Amino acid sequence: MTRKKSAAASVSEWTTNDLIRNAMHIQTHVMSGWCLGNCLEFTPRERLFCMLAATLPDLDGLGILAGQEVYWDYHHVLGHNLLAALVLSGLLTIFSTHRWKAFCVYLALFHLHLVLDYFGSGPGWPIVYLWPFSRWEIVNWHAWPFYSWQNITTGFAFLLWLLWIAVREGRTPLEVIMPKLDVQLVELIRRIARCSSTS
């Protein structure tokens, strides 16, 4: 397949375990949705949906469970396209309170995922944006390697932003799914922040 030929040699030779270990983008995608979702007046559920909109495109990466061939053939294809963006954003909007605003934000976060992948998934890995209507590919031959300083810096910046939200707003990405742990984490982060400011 063109996908395997176009990917950088160092990436295409990864084993299945390597591919799973190197999926460092997942954390960055989750944090990007959470942080940007906190920039607007959203409900806790809508903030959760922001994380989902920024992360669920990578569901097509589950093909790795069926082997590397399936992974290379369908990752950045099934979930990384305009149709998937519209469907996912629409489904999340149905269960949202601020529907039009939420739809626009979910759609933007989905595309932020694509932008992060375009720059940080390694050189030569295409995004088939118009699938299933076209096999036209968006390719960045100068994309950063997975373990580049740019990817690490981006993830670290979102982590700092997440911690700042925890201190200022008193919530973490666990506020809906694990509220008790969310409270405990906020208390711990605030305690550490207080100790850092007084030392």
Residue 192 lies in a domain: no
User: Does 143 map to a domain?
Assistant: yes
Residue 1: what pLDDT? 42
Query: Is the pLDDT score of 5 beyond 70?
Result: no
pLDDT in tens, 19-32: 544 455 789 999 99
pLDDT band at 196 (very low <50, low <70, confident <90, very high): confident
Instruction: Look at residue 155 and tell me if it is in a domain.
Output: no
The C-alpha atoms of residue 125 and residue 2 are separated, in whole angstroms, by 10
Q: Is residue 161 part of a domain?
A: no
Q: Is residue 26 part of a domain?
A: yes
Residue 188 included in any domain: no
Domain contains 171: no
> Which of these ranges, 31-45, 58-72, 166-180, has the smallest mean pLDDT?
58-72
22 found inside a domain: yes
Over residues 62-82, the mean pLDDT reads: 86
Q: Looking at the 3D structure of the chain, how many domains does it have? A: 1
Contact status, residue 172 vs residue 190, Cβ threshold 8 Å: no
Containing structural domain, residue 113: 2-147
Please state the pTM of the whole predicted model.
0.87
DSSP the chain: -HHHHHS-HHHHT--HHHHHHT-THHHHHHHHHHHHHTTS---HHHHHHHHHHHHGGGGGGGGGGG-HHHHHHHTTTSSSSHHHHHHHHHHHHHT-SSHHHHHHHHHHHHHHHHHHHHHHS-TT--B-TTTTT----B--TTPPPTT-HHHHHHHHHHHHHHHHHHHHHS--TTTTT-HHHHHHHHHHHHHHHHHHHH-
